[in-house]
Structure 1
């Protein structure tokens, strides 16, 4: 490709989300941080949500189009803060967690914690965003961060799989219900991603080898791999894409 064409591609990529307002939850670290930076680089004004002020300050310092919002997405009052936003075009519904436990050892506290954050909070956040987009009447894009475990099962992940299968179902239902308003709803389903949350797992060589053995492409995903898919689904380039789940999994679920 010529230098001229490369420049045109770069300009086009840089303007994918120009003029749009994006809200990214769980933006302090890992996938959320990468999504906030990628959306800002693609031209969006980004509202980055996390609980830790220091993480958000570092993120805001990394790009001038990122505005921090210190908040707990699981708090009862958080949906009202979304409804109060002057403008909202994109939601990256990323906040979530995981705890690895064999099925017989799953305790009620873990069950409740994952259901509360991964399902209840994810639903209420996306509901509030959808309501705000409907009020504004200019369409929008909601991208749920799901997982390959929303498509398959895995050991020590019974509760996590359950929550991510719920997100996949929510994606389809919201897409159908909101399509007539021009609001697209999709999911990104990554394989195991190397993030601060998963870093303790990767300290175990056996776990790293296990992770690599499940991915035909032979490498562990990085947050930026997920962020690129998110930007595509959030952008007008995916204007007729809704109700789908884009698996960023190196072929893991194709086996």
Structure 2
């Protein structure tokens, strides 16, 4: 199944490493003009070295005003991937206000800000668009030490459904992908301890964690015309964890 984005302008947040980086690279290979947004300018420069056609933008997405200013300069955008996110793992009683603010600022508030900017432009141009929000299986199930993170991803799923409902009549589709643990560098570090990793794998029918490309492929499908009748969905990329 060939997917092409020739003539489309795509924005990917959290694009300097991991899942976001691979999404940016694959979108470019499929013909899109890609704008990669992240905070770390060094990592963005290595992305640009890997694919010089990708345009990069260094901005702290938790800064609402700076984000609006930066994203406004690269409009119009046809395809948006809200991938930027962080995780803080702590027992329930030990989360402090700073932890909660950091998690919601990047995982939810920044996503809302960028989505507003892109969808306002799509509506003003009266053109179709597609948005994919990278959520998590933790929007559907609880995991120990993930309580506030689970809350942010539940918010992402709920927000995405509401935006899909509101913008569907304008042919702007909004979906989520909800991965399990993915073997990014962060994922490998976080689950390097077999005592932590193996019990979780046993809850996954496929008995393994996911690979980056498996998430990227789901994102590309949901951005493409191959999924033209799909909106408001949360596509689990979890090896069957939630359904088992």
SS at match of 2:133: strand
Q: Which residue of 2 aligns with 1:85?
A: 74
Q: Which residue of 2 aligns with 1:253?
A: 242
Moved over 4 A (4+): none
**Aligned positions of 1:216-231 closer than 5 A:** 216-231=205-220
Q: Report whether the alignment pairs 1:190 with 2:179.
A: yes
Partner Cα separation in structure 1 for residue 74 and residue 52 of structure 2: 19
SS at match of 2:11: strand
SS at match of 1:197: helix
Match of 2:57 among 45, 69, 86: 69
SS at match of 1:226: helix
Q: Which residue of 2 aligns with 1:33?
A: 21
Q: Report whether the alignment pairs 1:107 with 2:96.
A: yes
Q: Once the 2 structures are TM-superposed, how far is the Cα of residue 64 of structure 1 from its aligned partner?
A: 3.8
Q: Once the 2 structures are TM-superposed, how far is the Cα of residue 238 of structure 1 from its aligned partner?
A: 1.0
Q: Once the 2 structures are TM-superposed, how far is the Cα of residue 61 of structure 1 from its aligned partner?
A: 2.0
Matched positions, count: 243
Q: Once the 2 structures are TM-superposed, how far is the Cα of residue 186 of structure 1 from its aligned partner?
A: 0.4
Q: Once the 2 structures are TM-superposed, how far is the Cα of residue 72 of structure 1 from its aligned partner?
A: 1.3
Q: Report whether the alignment pairs 1:57 with 2:45.
A: yes
Q: Once the 2 structures are TM-superposed, how far is the Cα of residue 66 of structure 1 from its aligned partner?
A: 1.3
Partner Cα separation in structure 2 for residue 214 and residue 127 of structure 1: 37
> Which consecutive unaligned segments of at least 5 residues does structure 2 have?
none
Q: Which residue of 2 aligns with 1:5?
A: none
Partner Cα separation in structure 1 for residue 135 and residue 75 of structure 2: 27
Checking the alignment, whether the CA contact within 8 Å between 1:49 and 1:71 is kept in structure 2 is yes
Checking the alignment, whether the CA contact within 8 Å between 2:75 and 2:118 is kept in structure 1 is no
Checking the alignment, whether the CA contact within 8 Å between 1:42 and 1:231 is kept in structure 2 is no
> Which consecutive unaligned segments of at least 5 residues does structure 1 have?
1-8
Q: Report whether the alignment pairs 1:123 with 2:78.
A: no
